[in-house]
């Protein structure tokens, strides 16, 4: 084990996979000569050259389509969106081609491709650059969607995504790129579709993902001082969704709070709530509560932004509500 930053762990996974398999390459805006908009690909151009680290024009639909075609003929592309907000331009390529070509060709083609980049709000990126895009993508058959919250998972989930024969979306987070954590040396794979229990507890389950994991853990610490022991589950994968780990926890605690940054209408949080109420109805001691981003476009003002995204105070308030029911 050694300590790496989240961005360094992502880079290490991609580098190791590119060394292991010459079919793997990366393309996107500023991934090469600029070293990556968030320095995730720093040094990779010098190591692998321009045939495997490719700078692209500002044309997400175009380079997403090129990468899908490359995957169909046997290569294994990694496509970086400078932000997942820009993936909206390439949505048709992902929705209508990447996810459907295997089925439409009767298995004659596979599409082993990774789409990656920062997701959700950063700091004062305002209304058009703060979308939590998992709400859109997690409902599409044929896609896998993973959201690493730690440096170790950043490496392990990225490596698993690159090796998968299906299109995988890796939703990173600009606010997490600089965090440090212990990461295993050498090959490290985290299975897609398996959640992690980040904190054990007996009185309330908190299910969450991405940058809401550290927020939820902070809330759990505050609640522990009040005598409330929360179990915090990091879903890590939104499609496939490990509702079994959440259900096991809820049968123990009898309560569930789902925390996510995305808008409240629909999405993985609503899906998880539906599954748990059907599977664990007799175990629930209170209604399931979702602590979400506000149902509004993101303001630019820093104080208003803080009120729009869940924080530890709003999570503790939600847990207190289910405990008092």
Cα dihedral sign for 4, 5, 11, 14? positive
Q: Is 61 a catalytic residue?
A: no
Backbone angles phi, psi at 268, to 5 degrees: -60, -35
Active-site entry in 17, 129, 134, 172: 129
- Let me know if 188 is a catalytic residue: no
Of 186, 31, 213, 179, the residue nearest 117 (C-alpha): 31
Per DSSP, the residues of 105-138 read TTTS-----EEEEE-S--SS--GGG---THHHHT
Whole-angstrom Cα distance, residue 221 to residue 226?
Answer: 9
Q: Which of 12, 60, 134, 305 is catalytic?
A: 60
Edge-to-edge strands, sheet with 230-234: 196-199, 230-234, 204-208, 256-259, 289-291
Judge whether 312 and 222 are in contact, CB under 8 Å.
yes
Place of tokens 């496939």: 240
Report d(CA 37, CA 30) in Å as an integer: 6
Catalytically active residues are: 60, 129
């Amino acid at each position: 084990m050694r300590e790496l930053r989240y961005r360094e762990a992502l880079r290490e996974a991609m580098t190791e996979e590119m060394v292991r398999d010459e079919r793997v390459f990366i393309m996107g805006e500023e991934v090469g000569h600029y070293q990556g908009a968030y320095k995730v690909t720093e040094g990779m151009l010098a190591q692998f050259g321009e045939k495997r680290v490719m700078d692209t024009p500002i044309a997400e639909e175009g380079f997403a389509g090129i990468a899908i075609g490359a995957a169909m003929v046997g290569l294994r592309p990694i496509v970086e969106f400078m932000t997942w907000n820009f993936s909206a331009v390439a949505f048709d390529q992902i929705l209508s081609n990447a996810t459907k070509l295997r089925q439409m060709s009767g298995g004659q083609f596979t599409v082993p491709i990774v789409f990656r980049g920062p997701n959700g709000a950063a700091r004062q990126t305002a209304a058009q650059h703060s979308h939590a895009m998992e709400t859109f993508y997690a409902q599409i058959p044929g896609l896998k969607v993973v959201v690493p919250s730690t440096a170790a998972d950043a490496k392990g989930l990225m490596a698993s995504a690159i090796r998968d024969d299906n299109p995988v979306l890796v939703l990173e987070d600009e606010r997490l790129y600089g965090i440090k954590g212990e990461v295993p040396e050498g090959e490290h794979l985290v299975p897609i579709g398996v959640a992690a229990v980040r904190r054990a507890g007996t009185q309330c389950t908190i299910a969450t993902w991405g940058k809401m994991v550290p927020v939820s853990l902070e809330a759990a610490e505050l609640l522990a001082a009040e005598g409330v022991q929360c179990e915090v589950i990091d879903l890590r994968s939104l499609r496939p969704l490990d509702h079994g780990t959440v259900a096991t926890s809820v049968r123990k605690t009898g309560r569930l709070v789902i925390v996510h940054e995305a808008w409240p209408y629909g999405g993985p949080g609503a899906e998880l709530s539906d599954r748990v109420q059907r599977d664990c109805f007799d175990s629930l001691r209170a209604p399931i509560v979702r602590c979400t981003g506000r149902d509004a476009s993101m303001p630019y003002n820093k104080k208003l932004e803080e009120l729009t995204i869940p924080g530890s105070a709003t999570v503790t308030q939600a847990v207190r509500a289910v405990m008092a029911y």
